[in-house]
Amino acid sequence: MLIKSLVLKKDYLTTVNEKATLEEALKVLEDSGFRCVPILDDTGTIFRGNIYKMHIYRHKSQGGEMDLPVTYLLKNATKTIKVNSPFFKVFFNIKDLPYISVLDEENKFYGILTHSRLLDMLSDAWNIKNGSYVLTVLSDNSRGNLVKMSKIISKYTNMASVMTLDASASELGGDFVRRTLFTLPSGVSEITMKTVVDKLQRKGYVVAEIEDLQAGMTIMSDENPGVFIQK
């Protein structure tokens, strides 16, 4: 369960009881420094929604009563995912939220998944810390392309990580539909990297971009293709 491993569990979170007033909720938010916290019921197991600091400030500035229950300004009551939800569902639900609340199999509040934890996971998948170069290779959706590209690369070096992304046909002139990002491990020389790129392109795979992770720069891209490719 990938999501479960990324969740910050409720025991380590700052939350507000549903019976708290807006004044009490504001104090919790100001003391914690968070811009938003979950609202839970008396048992601490049922997620009611989120309370945002800015909504309370706006309410207060407009002369609103601060002894109203915190649920008066409750938001995101239905913005939740299950702890066993498919990972792609996170991206459709989290969007502009600072975090998304996670429920267990019994619909009880389990914790939250934050944007930062999600980005950390993607960073780990990219293997930036242990990589040398990232090659973005374009291909069509033909069966066996990933295996063929991997075989070419593995003749010269290991792979630290591989990620496959879909790209629209219109974006790529209708010729390619998939981007595969190969991260080469640290220690791979520039000569080896150039050899890999050359072999890929000779087999008809377009290397659209090359990123040097250690230098923190892009050394070849669609706008400047084939700068150093060996022929």
Q: Tell me the backbone φ, ψ of residue 101, rounded to 5 degrees.
A: -75, 140
pLDDT of residue 217: 78
Looking at every residue in the chain, the average pLDDT score rounds to 87
Predicted pLDDT of residue 174: 54
Higher pLDDT, 18 or 1: 18
pLDDT at 121 over 50: yes
Over pLDDT 90: what percentage of the chain? 65
* Close Cβ partners of 44 (under 8 Å, ≥ 6 residues apart): 10, 15, 109
Q: Give the pLDDT confidence score for residue 8 in this predicted structure.
A: 94
Higher-confidence residue of 114 and 169: namely: 114
Confidence of residue 153 (pLDDT cuts 50, 70, 90): very high
Instruction: Dump pLDDT digits (tens) for 36-78.
Output: 999 999 999 999 999 999 999 999 999 999 999 999 999 999 9
Domains of the chain: 2-120 (3.10.580.10), 127-220 (3.30.70.260)
Instruction: Dig out the tokens for 73 from the structure.
Output: 């300004």
CA distance 191 to 12: 49
For residue 229, pLDDT over 70 is answered with no
SS3 readout for 88-114: HHHHHHHCCCCEEEEECCCCCEEEEEE
Q: Is the pLDDT of residue 147 over 50?
A: yes
pLDDT tens digit sequence for 171-228: 445 555 788 999 999 999 999 999 999 999 999 999 999 999 888 778 876 554 444 4
Task: For residues 29 and 35, give the distance between their C-alpha atoms in angstroms, rounded to a whole number.
Answer: 6
pLDDT value for 222: 59
How many Å apart are CA 224 and CA 10, to the nearest integer? Answer: 49
Using the predicted structure, report yes or no on whether residue 120 has a pLDDT greater than 90. Answer: no
Q: Is residue 18 within 8 Å of residue 39, measured between CB atoms?
A: yes
- CA-to-CA distance for 100 and 85, rounded, in angstroms? 12
